[in-house]
Chain A
Amino acid sequence: MDPNAPIVRLAGVRLDRGGRTVLRDIDLTVPRGQVVAVLGPSGSGKSTLLAALTGELEPAAGTVEVLGRPVPRRMRDLLELRKGIGVLLQGNGLLTDLSAAENVALPLRTHTKLPRPVIDRLVRMKLHAVGLRAAADAFPRELSGGMARRVALARALALDPPLMLYDEPLTGLDPIASGVVMDLVRRLNDTLGLTSIVVTHHVHETLPVADHAIVIANGGIVFSGTSAQLQASTDPLVRQFLDGQPDGPIPFDAAPRGATVPEAA
């Protein structure tokens, strides 16, 4: 793969779910090595964007390229692609009857033929990178929310994927744990040479570590630029979102049921 090629490229993408168009006219290019924040109100379609990147959702129109090639449809090729993408899910997705170390070891044991001691060493390294080497033998139910999230992060990094996707990584975390996670996102991105896409609505924790930010609302991208540009934006929708205003372009009173989503401004 060309080292200068973007890790992710979406061109003219339209995504439908359940017969409804969730996102349209999406053009996005993510260069290698960046941390990109995908922001937006709840229900705006941010997670749908991630689904398109992992191949869970096929675009109704346009092309989605990940790691230099279009997202395949055939299961075998899709599985190969997924080995190169690490995903941190909102619910962690840790297997409850395996310990933390066994969870992290899972992708290594399934996809590589490395001998047991090597895998154990790698698992310890990954857990150490997220600061949880001491919790290796704990089970998910014994871990706090923040610790479980970090174990899931270590697992997502197990195969050293070039691309990391984070789906709402700060949900349910206290301020300290949030700080830890975002710090890890940035540091791991830089030290391991990853590219990271963080989908979140926690604007103020995410903007300091992001190189680039896009805002999704009303079915499309309403802003794309650096964090500084985002903070200085005068667009009323972006301002309402950043400042947490209860009323504005997204009205306080809910629209009557059956109303259609208005076109992007």
Chain B
Amino acid sequence: MSSRAPRIEFAVGAFLLLALASLLVLAIASTNGNFGFGGDRYEVTARFTNLGPLRDNAPVKVGGVTIGQVSDITLDPVKLDSVVTLAIDNRYSDLPADTSAAILTSGLLGESYVGLAPGGDPDPLKDGDEIFLTQPSVDLMQLVGKYMFSGGADNAAGDDAAADPAAPAEGGSDEDLPPYLQ
């Protein structure tokens, strides 16, 4: 071989190593690390009447700590509410069966996430179970509108009456427990 070969081989080796190193660093430092290793999670579902801006891969948090992700969102064609599948890390396998799920936003303009509030049931949630206590997403614009129209103390009486009949029909109010708990 010519005398240039060792230098070329070194240059190529350095190029390949640097490139692979930067790939690795990018993967770790700039992505959500969702490498898709499915074995260490279990899945539960939750039904919501209104998802708001919730989308795939949104975090699932308990008390602000991320314990899993939203892995699937579909619409039930019969009951016409949305079925959200939550993939929860196997380390957190002792969530009580009566845990409630709510769709919240981090900050005012932040992203949507599913917040879980543990209940008191001694039985844990298992793979395939459904969370039956859910709170739909709060629609910010409707909330602002309601506040503006239900306004200050002066307009409280009149506008309250005007606003109230509208409220249950919105489906965006604070308390939206399923019928069997009311």
Chain B contacts for A102, CB-based, 8 A: 1-2
Chain B contacts for A139, CB-based, 8 A: 2
Instruction: Write the chain A residue with the least CB distance to B3.
Output: A137
Tell me, yes or no, whether A189 is within 8 Å of chain B by CB.
no
Task: Please classify how large the interface on chain B is, using the bins under 10, 10 to 19, 20 to 34, 35 or more.
Answer: under 10
Chain A contacts for B2, CB-based, 8 A: 99, 102, 137, 139
Q: How long is the Cα–Cα vector from A99 to B5 in the complex, in angstroms?
A: 12
Q: How long is the Cα–Cα vector from A137 to B2 in the complex, in angstroms?
A: 7
Contact residues, A71-114 vs B (CB, 8 A):
99, 102
Q: How long is the Cα–Cα vector from A137 to B1 in the complex, in angstroms?
A: 9
Minimal beta-carbon separation of A34 from chain B (angstroms): 39
Minimal beta-carbon separation of B83 from chain A (angstroms): 61
Chain A contacts for B1, CB-based, 8 A: 102
Give the interface SS of chain B, mostly helix, strand, loop or mixed: loop
Contact residues, B1-58 vs A (CB, 8 A):
1-2
Q: Type the 1/0 row for A5-29, where 1 means its CB is closer than 8 Å to any CB of B.
A: 0000000000000000000000000
Contact residues, A129-184 vs B (CB, 8 A):
137, 139
Q: How long is the Cα–Cα vector from A102 to B2 in the complex, in angstroms?
A: 9
Q: How long is the Cα–Cα vector from A139 to B3 in the complex, in angstroms?
A: 12
Instruction: Write the chain B residue with the least CB distance to A139.
Output: B2
Minimal beta-carbon separation of A104 from chain B (angstroms): 14
Instruction: Write the chain B residue with the least CB distance to A97.
Output: B2
Q: How long is the Cα–Cα vector from A139 to B4 in the complex, in angstroms?
A: 12
Q: How long is the Cα–Cα vector from A137 to B3 in the complex, in angstroms?
A: 9
Minimal beta-carbon separation of A115 from chain B (angstroms): 16
Q: How long is the Cα–Cα vector from A139 to B2 in the complex, in angstroms?
A: 9
Instruction: Write the chain B residue with the least CB distance to A99.
Output: B2
Q: How long is the Cα–Cα vector from A55 to B1 in the complex, in angstroms?
A: 33
Minimal beta-carbon separation of B1 from chain A (angstroms): 8
Minimal beta-carbon separation of B11 from chain A (angstroms): 15
Chain B contacts for A137, CB-based, 8 A: 2
Instruction: Write the chain B residue with the least CB distance to A137.
Output: B2
Chain B contacts for A99, CB-based, 8 A: 2
Minimal beta-carbon separation of B9 from chain A (angstroms): 15
Q: How long is the Cα–Cα vector from A99 to B1 in the complex, in angstroms?
A: 8
Minimal beta-carbon separation of A62 from chain B (angstroms): 47
Q: How long is the Cα–Cα vector from A4 to B65 in the complex, in angstroms?
A: 93
Minimal beta-carbon separation of A132 from chain B (angstroms): 17
Minimal beta-carbon separation of B7 from chain A (angstroms): 14
Q: Type the 1/0 row for B54-91, where 1 means its CB is closer than 8 Å to any CB of A.
A: 00000000000000000000000000000000000000
Contact residues, B131-167 vs A (CB, 8 A):
none
Contact residues, A192-223 vs B (CB, 8 A):
none
Q: How long is the Cα–Cα vector from A229 to B2 in the complex, in angstroms?
A: 51
Q: How long is the Cα–Cα vector from A12 to B121 in the complex, in angstroms?
A: 102
Q: How long is the Cα–Cα vector from A106 to B1 in the complex, in angstroms?
A: 12
Minimal beta-carbon separation of A52 from chain B (angstroms): 38
Minimal beta-carbon separation of A138 from chain B (angstroms): 10
Q: How long is the Cα–Cα vector from A99 to B2 in the complex, in angstroms?
A: 7
Instruction: Write the chain B residue with the least CB distance to A101.
Output: B2
Q: How long is the Cα–Cα vector from A137 to B4 in the complex, in angstroms?
A: 12
Minimal beta-carbon separation of A139 from chain B (angstroms): 8
Minimal beta-carbon separation of B15 from chain A (angstroms): 19
Minimal beta-carbon separation of A98 from chain B (angstroms): 8
Minimal beta-carbon separation of A101 from chain B (angstroms): 9
Minimal beta-carbon separation of A212 from chain B (angstroms): 43
Minimal beta-carbon separation of B36 from chain A (angstroms): 43
Q: How long is the Cα–Cα vector from A102 to B1 in the complex, in angstroms?
A: 8
5 contacts between A and B (CB under 8 A): A99-B2, A102-B1, A102-B2, A137-B2, A139-B2
The residues of A with any CB-CB pair to B shorter than 8 Å are 99, 102, 137, 139
Closest 5 CB pairs of A and B: A99-B2, A137-B2, A102-B2, A139-B2, A102-B1
